[in-house]
Amino acid sequence: MTLDPNEPRLTAYALGELDETERAAIEYELLHSEAVRRAVGEIRATAEVLRKELGNEPRLQLSEAQRSSIERMFQPAKRKTFFAPSRALYAGAAVLAVASLFLVVYLNWSERRTSLENTFDTDSNGRIIGRGSSPRTVVQESPKPPEVIRKQSHPVQQTPEQVPTKTPVVRLDKEKGGVGIGTELIVRNEAASQSLVQAAQIGQKEIVASSAVAVPMLPPATLRSTAGPGEGGGTAAHSFLRKFLLQDTVSVSQGYESEEQKTLRDKGSYRQDFNTETYDRVVDNPFMRATQNPLSTFSIDVDTAAYANVRRFLSSGALPPKDAVRIEEMVNYFAYSYTGPKNSDPFSTQVEVASAPWKPEHRLVKVGLKGREIAQDKRPPSNLVFLIDVSGSMQPPNKLPLIKRGLPLLIEKLTENDRVAIVVYAGASGLVLPSTTCDHKAKILTALENLEAGGSTNGASGIQLAYDTAIANFIKGGTNRVILATDGDFNVGVTNQGELTRLIEEKAKSGVFLSVLGFGMGNYKDSTLEKLADNGNGNYGYVDSLQEARKVLVEEMGGTLITIAKDVKIQVEFNPALVGAYRLIGYENRILRAEDFNDDTKDAGEIGAGHTVTALYEVVPAGKEGTLPGIDALKYQKPVEASRESKSGELLTVKLRYKHPDGTTSKLMQFPVSDRGTGWAQASRDFKFASAVAALGMILRDSPYKGNATIDSVLELAEAGKGEDKQGYRAEFIELAKTARGPVEGTKITN
């Protein structure tokens, strides 16, 4: 037998890659075939030339800063790093930051199960350590709690009064001081610094397994208490660790970068590489004294994405990251049986007051809006442009394939008055289907069916093209909307988010609205998508199943497609005669300044046909707010005198401003509200159900305001508020709350 000189095994032989048996076979051939000998000689010579030339390529190196950042991680951290006053913080913060990054990396890594076994996923008690909970097991217990001296106030330590009301979303970015500038941490205890080091090495499984570190977690109550005023000592350190290890991966990575690497990489890329899911930080709205802050102003929000996302986490047995739990989106996921407007207003407003189930001495005020229903046949014509992400990451069945199954549900409902176009983007973007009237459904469906992830076409950037297409086919008086379907890694032709947001804001002025549908998991960029939708006069939903697609695209189509009012703002004025303090539950990133309410240039949320919007306020009756941190009496002013209306017995007044979809000036609506002293048990079903959802949200966020809310009380409320529940969404919520029991209670060992 003679070996073909073009046989891959010859190459393997020449390169020393064969085992003994195969080698012997080839050597036999070598003896007998000149051609084989020559081939092997040529292969070796080529290999040698290649080796040499490759070896001569210029040597590449990491930068000094990069190398030292790595080497610092190789070495056990030294105590003095934490002591040195000026640079200390950065070093400590860097270790923490990197540790927290590793957590994210590690957890993503283990989620994907690429190479590691899951020793880290369950602890010795067999308790599942999900994304949210695993870091806690590691960092919270050290032989002795670290002693921390707080030298300056830290944003985290602010009392509710100090938290600026206008910007409730605190971002610890480098401009504001990054990781460390607000605080100086001095860790005095060797064991504690050791635990920091161990925290930095968190990815190592044996640490989790070793008894010195993997001891029971502290009860959340202990951790939580640090958020209140006046605490110090060990719990502050725990809080510090917990905050930075658990929640602030994004901010910390930026803080870290600002010191170590800002010259090395573009803004944001670091964060993307490490954190495949990103959420903006959400800090619970604090209680505000009605005497000092009588006005509460916010923009409505009909987004529902957070609920579906929370559901995804809980279904997989993990606690969602705190910042992914946006309570208003959870509450607004459900439709409530508010009655629509009877007059010509685009929506009706209903307010209900009863006791707060989680804190019976407080009152809970539910403000409900209901957009006018518009019958299918009265629907104005629509001009829709689907902008679909077909990049490689969209391949999994819950992404592009789900889009291809979900969108036909919507297209099915459209008529010959409606138009649909399809724009895709990946490496490049292109118009797959020019705007087509919906009497050509087959053509539309075929175009949709032919989409494939990974493909690319020439053209301008997707979003630009989508808006251009929508504008070119603009239907006056109709619905003009771009519907973006993506996993959120949204970077079409515009390199940063700010630019993208501006582009969308600019385009929103054209009268074309934006709906954002988030698909899939893993690469999911929650915060980006929400911002896009908010800036594009749009709404945002998360689709993880065909059922969800049906809900978003078909059942809520009226609302999604037909905007009946835009820039809807709510301002509530509390009567200090009856209200000691109040707190808006959720809407943390929708808070407006009081003066924005009357400013028609300030963008706010839109409401669609049939949409319901619900907001909850927890109210502390006057005279009972004593335990709240307050401010000293003012030196130069006297307290404002109460007006005659304060004795009217009204609890509050709800004011609403909205614009018609094509209008530029707003209209004002006002509703005074009185409290009849109802207990929550006598409240409406919707009241009970909405408070059940809010309570679950607060439990998942481990909110300091959750009172005595437990999974059991959530279930009780939800059952009582379930009502008819035609679509089964409330029943699903009840099941979900049951699933939450494990992860939630798994976080408490002792209490």
Partner 1 sequence: MKSSENQDQGGNLKALLHRLQGPLIRYAFQITGDLERSRDVVQDTFLQLCSENRASLNGHLEPWLYTVCRNRALDVRKKEGRMNPLTEATAEPSSNSPDAFVSMDRAETFQSALKVLETLPASQQEAIRLKFQSELSYKEISQVMGLSVTNVGFLIHAGLKAIRQIMLEQPRANSKVLRRIK
Which distant-in-sequence residues (6+ apart) come within 8 Å of 616 by Cβ?
A: 331, 364, 365, 366, 367, 584, 585, 586, 690, 691, 694
Contact status, residue 640 vs residue 295, Cβ threshold 8 Å: no
**Least distance from partner 1 to the Cβ atom of residue 287, Å:** 40
HSE at residue 321, side-chain half, CA atoms within 13 A, is: 27
Report the run of H or E that residue 298 belongs to, with start and end.
Answer: strand 295-299
C-beta of 401 vs 459, nearer to partner 1: 459
Burial 321-357 (b: 16+ CB within 10 A, else e): bbbbbbbbbbbbbbbbebebbeeebbbbbbbbbbbbb
DSSP string covering 650-684, please? Answer: EEEEEEEEEE-TT-SS-EEEEEEEE-----GGGS-
Sequence letter at residue 277: E
**Least distance from partner 1 to the Cβ atom of residue 245, Å:** 13
C-beta of 133 vs 391, nearer to partner 1: 391
Return the residue matching tokens 């050597």.
27
C-beta of 393 vs 480, nearer to partner 1: 393
**Least distance from partner 1 to the Cβ atom of residue 572, Å:** 43
**Least distance from partner 1 to the Cβ atom of residue 110, Å:** 11
Q: Which two tokens stand for residue 207?
A: 């640490």
**Least distance from partner 1 to the Cβ atom of residue 430, Å:** 10
What is each CA distance from 111 to 115, 317, 522, in whole angstroms? Answer: 10, 12, 9
Q: Which two tokens stand for residue 742?
A: 């494990």
Contact status, residue 370 vs residue 431, Cβ threshold 8 Å: no
Q: Which two tokens stand for residue 720?
A: 């009582």
**Least distance from partner 1 to the Cβ atom of residue 652, Å:** 48
C-beta of 6 vs 21, nearer to partner 1: 6
**Least distance from partner 1 to the Cβ atom of residue 277, Å:** 14
**Least distance from partner 1 to the Cβ atom of residue 458, Å:** 7
C-beta of 151 vs 265, nearer to partner 1: 265
Q: Which two tokens stand for residue 533?
A: 């939708």
C-beta of 129 vs 367, nearer to partner 1: 129
C-beta of 59 vs 638, nearer to partner 1: 59
Residue 13: name the closest of 21, 23, 3 by CA: 23
DSSP-assigned letter for residue 260: H
User: Residue 230, exposed/middle/buried by CB under 10 A (0-12, 13-18, 19+)?
Assistant: exposed
CA distance 333 to 693: 10
Residue 588: name the closest of 488, 430, 703, 478 by CA: 703
**Least distance from partner 1 to the Cβ atom of residue 80, Å:** 14
C-beta of 300 vs 426, nearer to partner 1: 426
Angle at the Cα of 718 from the Cα atoms of 712 and 721, rounded to 5 degrees: 145
**Least distance from partner 1 to the Cβ atom of residue 73, Å:** 4
CA distance 89 to 186: 9
C-beta of 61 vs 125, nearer to partner 1: 61
Residue 473: name the closest of 436, 501, 523, 507 by CA: 436
C-beta of 49 vs 84, nearer to partner 1: 49
Three-class secondary structure of residue 294 per DSSP: coil
User: Residue 436, exposed/middle/buried by CB under 10 A (0-12, 13-18, 19+)?
Assistant: middle
- 313 phi, psi to nearest 5 deg: -65, -50
**Least distance from partner 1 to the Cβ atom of residue 593, Å:** 35
C-beta of 417 vs 461, nearer to partner 1: 461
**Least distance from partner 1 to the Cβ atom of residue 67, Å:** 7
**Least distance from partner 1 to the Cβ atom of residue 611, Å:** 32
C-beta of 453 vs 711, nearer to partner 1: 453
**Least distance from partner 1 to the Cβ atom of residue 227, Å:** 29
- 362 phi, psi to nearest 5 deg: -95, 160
Angle at the Cα of 600 from the Cα atoms of 596 and 606, rounded to 5 degrees: 90
C-beta of 159 vs 457, nearer to partner 1: 457
User: Residue 271, exposed/middle/buried by CB under 10 A (0-12, 13-18, 19+)?
Assistant: middle
C-beta of 112 vs 166, nearer to partner 1: 112
